[in-house]
Structure 1
Amino acid sequence: MAQLIIFSYFEDLNNWNFMPLVQLWRQEWTKAGFKCHCLGRHLAQKHPKYKVFLKHVDSLPTINPKNYEVACYMRWLAMAHFMEQQRIERALMSDFDVFPRGFNRQHMGSAQIVVHERTRVPCLVEATIQGAANITQMIMSRIPKPGVTHYSDMYAFKETSWPATNHCVQLDDPTWTKAAAVHASHGACLRLQPGKAKIDVIKEIVLGQK
């Protein structure tokens, strides 16, 4: 039986020191039995549609730093390229602040694309090779309405009808302890413990480390 595979994506942006969090992500998913790959812009750049994809996502409106928003889109292009080149039939793409709490093979789906968050926040997304290609095509097709000041890959996913599960929940959701994975988003960590470093909130609440 093929080993379970999970990706995350990292670019060193705006001097944000996220590498310790990426290392913690890799540690915990490896313990859960997954082979972990942290993808980067260099892989997206190898995709034959990189230039046209970059031009499109760079044109989309955002209230966030532009390089951050572009990186959020680029992870899907990197995933599509890597899966195609490595002939990986099925894998997960995860934010690096998503941690397993029992997520295993039984939680994997069978559709080309499965979003493992019930409102289709793309913090933990499962895809086949074709599914990963479909995600990039979906993003390329999105043109926000005139006057829209902010758009993101989250908005794009929420506009789809792709299958969704509740296997991954936000850390500040009362049901998170019963979920197969938890998303320790910036907002959730801030609401739970204002002023505390995100990685320390995760270590204390999610991993039970003092």
Structure 2
Amino acid sequence: MRVVSYYEWLDEATSAEDEPLSYLWAASWEEYGWKTEIACPHEAESHPLFPALLQHVETLPTVNDKKYELACYKRWCAWAFYAPALFVDYDVINFGFTPDQLNHHDGPCFFSVQGHLPMWADRPSVESMLAAMLHWSGASCHYGGRPHTSDMMILAALYRGVAESMPVTVNYGNSGWDNAKLVHFYGPRCKGRKVQLAIKHGLRNGCKWAKEALGILGASEAKTCRERLGRFCNGVGLDIGFGGWPVHLNAICVDSASVFEAGQWKPKWPNQHIIGDAGKLTWFADNSLDYVFSSHCLEDFEDTKAALREWLRVIKPGGYLVLFLPDQKTYMECCREAGQTPNPAHKHEDFGLAYVKAILAEADMPRTGIVHELWPVPGNLYSFDLVARKI
């Protein structure tokens, strides 16, 4: 049985969360026997009605960003090529809804008590929806005194009363969401945390896809933070504990050794420049570097304050200390839920954003100002960003 979603890149901020979420969506539905497909803008734009729809949507009132609203209408153009199928947003995650539970038929049929997706529809039904959208005019409601309409509001008006009686889909945080087979991770209660919340709920429900996703996201945590924090890493600087993937091609890569062989220590990685103790940067003079970057390394130091002081010592005034680190309590919770052994190298039970900020603020530390912090971060269950500028 086929289930189809739609994805369109809108901007960097939303894609940072939505792209990993779309992977979770596919994995969660496939675990319960569905064949997943994600429609794309190119397919939507090839539909004969798309030019007219594009022009008409510009005339409809909305409180949302026009680009986002257009994408909501465009998906129906793309979905027409996939019908008959079950159509669903990629932030509706599956926790046990199987194809045999779908009472589909020839016409449109909704499977939600809060909104109107998921929806089973055949090709004639999708085409009739598009025609209705093209002839719709005016506002469906008002938000804060501003007129608004949307594709879902139009469908609600057209197909009122055809929803299935079984309450399959529940919005995150609403009554009964934690026992629902389909959870819609939507709204302010989960904004910026959709991936984390979906995986945590999947782990609690014993979902195989959630355990696999935790491993994949953990392995790629350095990649995701480098894409986000690389803007602070210009000039000449260090990547401490870089793990084989430097933050920037010009970064000086520092890590420990792997083995002692033929009378010398061998580097862990072929692109490693320095083997040594990252808590003693004796190779570098005071105020000599533009930045020091480190991902998931500081938590392994017994003396966090000494390590931070040493890293700040080598940074020029105006340079950046760029950190991507775990919140230890959340990390331990994730390990318990996934049945994984925690990293024994982590030294401090209370390690987290507040812990590191408190050390940086101590009077005997080099003066810094926080220019960026983020907790939680998109696509990572337990890590946080912290960037301090040396004064």
Larger strand fraction of residues: 2
Q: Report the Cα distance in structure 2 between the residues aligned to 1:41 and 1:136, rounded to whole angstroms.
A: 16
Contact 1:186–1:198 (CA under 8 A) maintained in structure 2: no
- In the TM superposition, what whole-angstrom CA distance separates every residue of 1:30-52 from its partner, at most 9, and x where no partner exists? 11111111111100111111100
Identify the residue that residue 8 of structure 1 maps to in structure 2: 5
Q: What amino acid is aligned across from residue 28 of structure 2 in structure 1?
A: E
- In the TM superposition, what whole-angstrom CA distance separates every residue of 1:129-171 from its partner, at most 9, and x where no partner exists? 1122122122222112498622111211221225113211112
Identify the residue that residue 190 of structure 2 maps to in structure 1: 189
Larger helix fraction of residues: 1
Contact 1:9–1:38 (CA under 8 A) maintained in structure 2: yes
What is the Cα deviation at residue 8 of structure 1? 0.8
The SS at the match of 2:2 is: strand
* Pairing of 1:153-172 with structure 2 (within 5 A): 153-160=151-158, 161=160, 163-165=162-164, 166-172=167-173
Q: What amino acid is aligned across from residue 151 of structure 2 in structure 1?
A: D
Contact 2:61–2:139 (CA under 8 A) maintained in structure 1: no
Structure 1 residue 149 corresponds to structure 2 residue 147:
yes
* Pairing of 1:52-63 with structure 2 (within 5 A): 52-63=52-63
- In the TM superposition, what whole-angstrom CA distance separates every residue of 1:172-209 from its partner, at most 9, and x where no partner exists? 1222234331111133425xxxxx62211221134436
- The gaps in structure 2 that reach 5 residues or longer are 205-209, 211-333, 335-391
Q: Report the Cα distance in structure 2 between the residues aligned to 1:122 and 1:187, rounded to whole angstroms.
A: 19
Identify the residue that residue 348 of structure 2 maps to in structure 1: none
- In the TM superposition, what whole-angstrom CA distance separates every residue of 1:62-93 from its partner, at most 9, and x where no partner exists? 1111110000111111101x22xxxx5x2111
Q: Report the Cα distance in structure 1 between the residues aligned to 2:119 and 2:92, rounded to whole angstroms.
A: 11
- TM-score for the superposition, normalised by structure 1: 0.84
Aligned length: 195
Q: What amino acid is aligned across from residue 182 of structure 2 in structure 1?
A: A
What is the Cα deviation at residue 118 of structure 1? 2.1
Higher RCO structure (Cα 8 Å, ≥6 apart): 1
* Pairing of 1:1-210 with structure 2 (within 5 A): 4-15=1-12, 16=14, 17=16, 18-80=18-80, 82-83=81-82, 88=83, 90-104=84-98, 105-119=100-114, 121-145=115-139, 149-160=147-158, 161=160, 163-165=162-164, 166-190=167-191, 197-208=193-204, 210=334
Q: Report the Cα distance in structure 2 between the residues aligned to 1:189 and 1:145, rounded to whole angstroms.
A: 28
What is the Cα deviation at residue 111 of structure 1? 4.5
What is the Cα deviation at residue 28 of structure 1? 0.7
- The gaps in structure 1 that reach 5 residues or longer are 191-195
Q: Report the Cα distance in structure 2 between the residues aligned to 1:38 and 1:49, rounded to whole angstroms.
A: 20
Q: Report the Cα distance in structure 2 between the residues aligned to 1:28 and 1:130, rounded to whole angstroms.
A: 29
The SS at the match of 2:148 is: coil
The share of aligned pairs that are identical, in percent, is 28
The SS at the match of 1:187 is: coil
Contact 1:169–1:175 (CA under 8 A) maintained in structure 2: yes
Contact 2:24–2:93 (CA under 8 A) maintained in structure 1: no
The SS at the match of 1:163 is: coil
The SS at the match of 1:159 is: helix
- TM-score for the superposition, normalised by structure 2: 0.47
Quick check: which has more Rg, 1 or 2? 2
Q: Report the Cα distance in structure 1 between the residues aligned to 2:52 and 2:59, rounded to whole angstroms.
A: 11
Rate the CA distance shift 1:122–1:152 in 2: closer, same or farther, 3 A. same
